[in-house]
Amino acid sequence: MFHALVHYHEVALKGRNRGFFEQRMVRHLRSALKNLKAIQVEALPGRIRVSFPEERSWECIHDTLSRTFGVTNFSFARSAPISYVSSDLTKLKEAIRRNIPSNAFTTFRVLTKRAEKRFPKTSMDIDREIGADICEHTGKRVNLSKPDLTIYIEILKHDAYYAFNKEPGPGGLPVGTGGTVLCLMSGGIDSPVAAYRMMKRGCRVVFVHFHGRPYLSRASEEKVRDLVTLLTSYQLSSTLYLVPFGEIQQHIVLGAPAPIRVVLYRRMMMRIAEELARQEEAWALVTGDSLGQVASQTPGNIQVVSEVTGLPILRPLIGMDKIEITEQAQAIQTFETSIEPDQDCCTLFVPPHPNTRARLSEIQHVEKGLDIAGMVRQGIEYVERANYAYPA
Ligand code: ATP
Ligand code: MG
């Protein structure tokens, strides 16, 4: 058997919630790796072990662990039996000698962690003993501060595990531990990054997109579908609601002066999103707003838009600038899709210079002349729902 030893953020997972977090992560990994043959995922004290019979499964496991929130780091490990009675390390030494990538380094160090403190030798004893053995058999030198190779050893209950690598995980908290949130996805650069950031904090994200059909093309919708597919690789299953918004915008256009239309669109989106959030038992709405980026994201307009819903509106990008957001979009590989040309419904019937400081009293006055409840009902009535799963 081969193993991946998975480490998570100890501090965040301490206390009474720890078992809950661990179980979430185990379940997530089992589900993400379900297509691999004879795979076992198990919570051990302080780490999770993924065991697999075929070495070539590692590539897929590596990919999965790199996108599993809650994982701090992980390594490809093999095991060897150890004896607690004699504290003999012969089998471990032999195994390490057999598998060490001799051509890949000239200096090395050994770093041992004992999960099982009952083992009679200390971590330092083991470092020295294994180190001496490798020096003797390979002629390589020890360098504690800047080695070419680090040999990681973990002493567990029945076995010792050894690894020659340590790969970074994405950090964060296991998906599902932060409840469900509903993300307003536009097909632009920002909202996919906002969704990613909430997933990383443990939220299960449900998506809603408002499209301009029949007045606009399907382009934004296709993009959002692609983006949700990409993001589903982090949470394994997703739901996307597609709300036809063109008719609703028509109503608004008939009853409202051009400069405040964007704010009215946004308020309608929030109301419909709130309704869907209640259906999904989501505790918050998420947007890709970044302060001051465009007219609808000024302090005044953010206030006026937020005011329509009782749900918290999370804006994880509010303090980031476009360059930072773009870098993050590239890192999570949503950027290329986001920059494909489309027709955003928010540009429908909107002047080039919308009002950046809409007054709530004016907005409320205009809305009195609109059938707000009817529009919400209409949005909900014609909503389409799509489900996504990863691996497909
Ligand atoms: P993005 O890059 O996410 O499109 P943006 O910089 O283009 O953001 P806006 O178009 O003002 O800014 O949108 C701000 C936020 O409002 C978006 O991040 C998204 O959360 C929400 N939003 C805008 N348009 C839509 C839409 N058609 N469907 C769903 N949500 C939307
Ligand atoms: Mg946009």
121-148 per-position pLDDT tens digit: 999 999 999 999 999 999 999 999 999 9
Q: Where among 110, 140, 168 does a domain terminate? A: 168
Question: Which CATH number does the domain housing residue 376 bear?
Answer: 3.40.50.620
The number of the ligand nearest the C-alpha atom of 182 reads 1
Asked if 198 and 251 sit in the same domain, the reply is yes
Task: State which H helix or E strand residue 74 sits in.
Answer: strand 71-81
Question: Which CATH number does the domain housing residue 42 bear?
Answer: 3.30.2130.30
Asked if 219 and 339 sit in the same domain, the reply is yes
Please name every residue paired with 50 in a beta bridge, in sequence order, or none if there are none.
4, 41
Asked if 253 and 151 sit in the same domain, the reply is no
Asked if 23 and 136 sit in the same domain, the reply is yes
358 confidence band (pLDDT: 50, 70, 90): confident
10 pLDDT more than 80: no
What's the full length of the chain, in residues? 392
Q: Where among 135, 168, 201 does a domain terminate? A: 168
How far, in Å, is the centroid of ligand 2 from the Cα of 112?
Answer: 50
Q: Is residue 52 part of a domain?
A: yes
Six-digit token string for 125: 């004893």
Query: So what's the pLDDT on residue 14?
Result: 67
Q: Is residue 207 part of a domain?
A: yes
318/328 Cα distance (integer angstroms): 14
Q: Enumerate residues lining ligand 1, CB below 6 A.
A: 184-186, 188-191, 209-210, 269, 287-289, 293-294, 296-297, 345-346
State the residue for tokens 């470092």.
127
Asked if 138 and 115 sit in the same domain, the reply is yes
Asked if 152 and 190 sit in the same domain, the reply is no
27 pLDDT more than 90: yes
How far, in Å, is the centroid of ligand 1 from the Cα of 78?
Answer: 47
Q: Where among 139, 168, 197 does a domain terminate? A: 168
344 pLDDT more than 90: no
Ramachandran category for residue 87: left, alpha or beta (phi over 0 → left; psi -120 to 50 → alpha): left
Task: Name the domain count of the chain.
Answer: 2
The number of the ligand nearest the C-alpha atom of 196 reads 1
365 confidence band (pLDDT: 50, 70, 90): very high
Least confident among 240-249, 313-322, 354-363: 354-363
Q: With beta carbons less than 8 A apart as the criterion, state whether 310 and 284 touch.
A: no
Asked if 207 and 319 sit in the same domain, the reply is yes
Q: Is residue 26 part of a domain?
A: yes
Query: So what's the pLDDT on residue 185?
Result: 98
11 pLDDT more than 70: no
Six-digit token string for 231: 């993001």
Domain that holds residue 10: 2-168
pLDDT in tens, 217-263: 888 999 999 999 999 999 999 999 999 999 999 999 999 998 999 99
Question: In whole angstroms, how far apart are CA 143 and each of 63, 102, 152, 317, 321?
Answer: 31, 16, 14, 43, 42
pLDDT in tens, 70-112: 999 999 999 999 988 888 999 999 999 999 999 999 999 999 9
Angle formed at CA 120 by CA 119 and CA 121, multiple of 5 degrees: 95
12 confidence band (pLDDT: 50, 70, 90): low
Q: Is residue 175 part of a domain?
A: no
Helix axes 190-200, 219-235, angle to 10 degrees: 20
Asked if 158 and 218 sit in the same domain, the reply is no
Give, using CA atoms, the residue closest to atom 7 of ligand 1. 188
Entry pTM? 0.94
Residue type, 80: A
DSSP 293: S
Asked if 58 and 184 sit in the same domain, the reply is no
The number of the ligand nearest the C-alpha atom of 294 reads 1
Asked if 267 and 365 sit in the same domain, the reply is yes
Asked if 228 and 155 sit in the same domain, the reply is no
Helix axes 190-200, 322-331, angle to 10 degrees: 70
State the residue for tokens 């009952």.
118
Asked if 101 and 29 sit in the same domain, the reply is yes
pLDDT in tens, 174-192: 999 999 999 999 999 999 9
Q: Is residue 174 part of a domain?
A: no
Q: With beta carbons less than 8 A apart as the criterion, state whether 363 and 213 touch.
A: no
Q: Is residue 173 part of a domain?
A: no
13/7 Cα distance (integer angstroms): 11
